[in-house]
Structure 1
């Protein structure tokens, strides 16, 4: 009897630990900053993009005949909370893969957890090179790396002829990466790069901005390397102090919050001439999928889709496509399929090269569309703004619109 009881107990334990493929639904995990100090609106856009993907998949019959169940955990943009969230998803919820995040420090922190559980992590809106440079086999990225996006931005800076670039960034992997890439790419151009760093919780940028206002010469471009509501506060303060955007100084917002409607709530008409750097624009490429996603997102949430929402959608979809290709929701099979994947997403054909050098290119989608945009009218969406760069897709002859 005792032996029979142990066998039954072992069977129960085995069933409890069985992967999600044995369940009635296939569970996909999501992580995002949904509470402060994280960039809440960025997190909500990621999550809502994921939801549109799941609704679309389930309306079409699911994957392998099973409905997709999305479980999203809040990271608050804090690495320790991100690790705990990933642990819960991988162990307790038994998800087959995870997507999302925002905040590079969170993405970097959860990489080893993804490796521990053998669970693919599709990183979105985490730009630090370190996320993929760690070359963890379970980590894939569907947004840009700092070295990719800011080298493009630096090309625009060089072409536009800026001579004194000032970077005010948060002291994170992402923030330091912004400074590093601009310094490297502008090293031989004669342009001066001045940099300041601060805790990402700082909300008063008056000292740094006044120092720039008093400098001689004043910077002709300020790069605002913060995320969340503090990015918007910096932009507001820069305008109120008469620093930028102005006739003499342009301002380039590196954080994704400049792409959200809340940007206009904070800035009002003063947001005109602010520059952004989205890793994707709805309608570019102009494909049926890009159009249908943008419509579904706006119908569902009453706000325009942007690059972050597109990343949330694409993250779930590449997991679903990998499951279809593998014919299995086994975690290892999903990873193998992701390495062979070529899927036309909302922003182009997504694939993950196994490039070894430079290290950040490992399982990094290399063709993320990158734009430098500038608002020319109040309340524009990113898709309605002027594209300054790349020149092949520019909507204006000018490299910079000035007040």
Structure 2
């Protein structure tokens, strides 16, 4: 019997993790593994995924990495939440276990530069500067952010402020642990902000904030934005309906998918019974890259970690390779395609591309 090659997969599959994002991520990972195996595996050896739920808990993530390393996985794939991925990356680095992170964008994914970790998703600084430029180009100089304590949200606020302030704008922060959505509306009405960005958890308090702002006649001209992307997934539409439209967010897709992307999109749509998000494509690309590395360098962990700079794999959104990017301590795909998108007010189940790059 042929011995399988084991890959560990991390995803938030239970609360307080964003379960819908985890399901999309895992759907992409599982589809890619199935495609690899249908094509004969890796030199005749099948890929075997061992999936672990991180539940948006750093301690669970670290325990999962330890367990998966003990089970003989040759590499780790996945994770959506940045703070959780950072904990997993630190542990993988300590254990000398290759980890290809699918979706987490936090720039400082590791404290120190490492050869054991790489990333498919773009760094937060790239995406959020792109988003900030979109806001300024649309005439929004006075930006408010509703936020909660988190390394990820604090990093996002800093990126926005560092980009917007030198260009004549301002960023005012509102801490939602001490404000109700109604109190936030009162604050906004007195501050003259033209845009409010949701740097908070989904579905709450994000959904309640959207409903409060949308129902406040004083704030009819305020743009609501959600750069981290919750409007991408169907749950947003189910919870908010038309109120969830016209809220710009970041997604990492090209304007036109290549042929592989179109085929994978159709398969993911069938697997998920809904339109796949960019997170599902990130999951697929992660396994496609690891499979390519396994074919060229074999299943030895150390040899895989040496392979990052040699990767050239056709992904669902373009050709993927890794390099060292200033200020980023992991091997980075520089860069995935990026868009600012929202849901059409007249047809909230459809998306509008507001800016692409």
> TM-score, with normalisation over the residues of structure 2?
0.93
User: Residue 26 and residue 205 in structure 1: after superposition, are their counterparts in 2 closer, same or farther (change >3 A)?
Assistant: farther
Q: Which runs of 5+ in 2 are unaligned?
A: none
Match of 2:112 in 1: 134
- Does the aligned pair in 2 maintain the 1:150–1:181 contact within 8 Å? yes
Matched residues in 1 for 2:22 and 2:179: separation?
A: 20
Aligned-residue offset at 1:378: 5.6
Name which of 303, 306, 331 aligns with 1:363.
Answer: 331
Show the counterpart of 2:66: 87
CA distance in 2: counterparts of 1:186 and 1:35, whole angstroms: 36
Q: Is the 8 A contact 1:132 1:364 kept in 2?
A: no
Classify 1:243/1:253 alpha carbon distance in 2 versus 1 (closer, same or farther; 3 Å). farther
Which one has the largest radius of gyration? 1
Cα pair distance change 1:71/1:203, threshold 3 Å: farther
Tell me the CA shift for residue 134 of structure 1: 3.2
Does the aligned pair in 2 maintain the 1:227–1:255 contact within 8 Å? Answer: no
* Distance change (3 Å), C-alpha of 1:141 and 1:243: farther
Alignment of 1:150-299 (within 5 A): 150-198=128-176, 205-212=181-188, 214-217=189-192, 219-230=193-204, 231-242=206-217, 246=220, 248-280=221-253, 284-299=255-270
1:92-148 residue CA offsets vs partner (Å, 9 max, x unmatched): x21111111111111111122111221111112212111156322211111121211
Query: Secondary structure of 2:6's partner?
Result: strand
Q: Is the 8 A contact 1:261 1:379 kept in 2?
A: no
Conservation of the 8 A alpha-carbon contact between 2:106 and 2:123: yes
Aligned-partner Cα distance in 1 for 2:52–2:197: 31
Moved over 6 A (4+): none
Q: Partner of 1:267: helix, strand, or coil? A: helix
In structure 2, distance between residues paired with 1:23 and 1:331: 20
The question of whether the paired residues in 2 share the 8 Å contact of 1:236 and 1:266 is answered with no
Equivalent residue pairs, number: 356
* CA-to-aligned-CA distance 1:321-361 (integer Å, 9 cap, x gap): 100111x1111111222221011211222111134x3x226
SS of structure 1 residue aligned to 2:69: helix
Residues 186 and 203 of structure 1: CA distance in aligned 2, closer, same or farther (over 3 Å): closer
Counterparts of 2:338 and 2:78 in 1: how far apart (Å)?
A: 19
Shift of 1:380: 4.4
| 203 and 197 in structure 1: CA distance in 2 versus 1, 3 angstrom threshold | closer
Query: C-alpha separation between the residues in 2 aligned to 1:102 and 1:277?
Result: 15
- CA deviation string 1:123-182 (max 9, x = no partner): 122121111563222111111212110111111122111121011123212101111011
- What TM-score results when the alignment is normalised by the length of structure 1? 0.83
Shift of 1:286: 2.5
How big is each residue's C-alpha offset from its partner over 1:257-303, in whole Å with a ceiling of 9 and x where there is no partner?
2111111101112222121111225xx44211110010000111211
**Deviations 1:226-275 (Å, cap 9, x if unpaired)?**
3432233433343244576x3x1111112332111111101112222121
Distance 2:290 2:329 in 1: 20
Q: Secondary structure at the match of 2:109?
A: helix
Change beyond 3 A, Cα 1:364–1:233? farther
Map of 1:334-349 to 2, 5 A cutoff?
334-349=304-319
Query: What is the CA RMSD across the aligned residues, in angstroms?
Result: 2.2
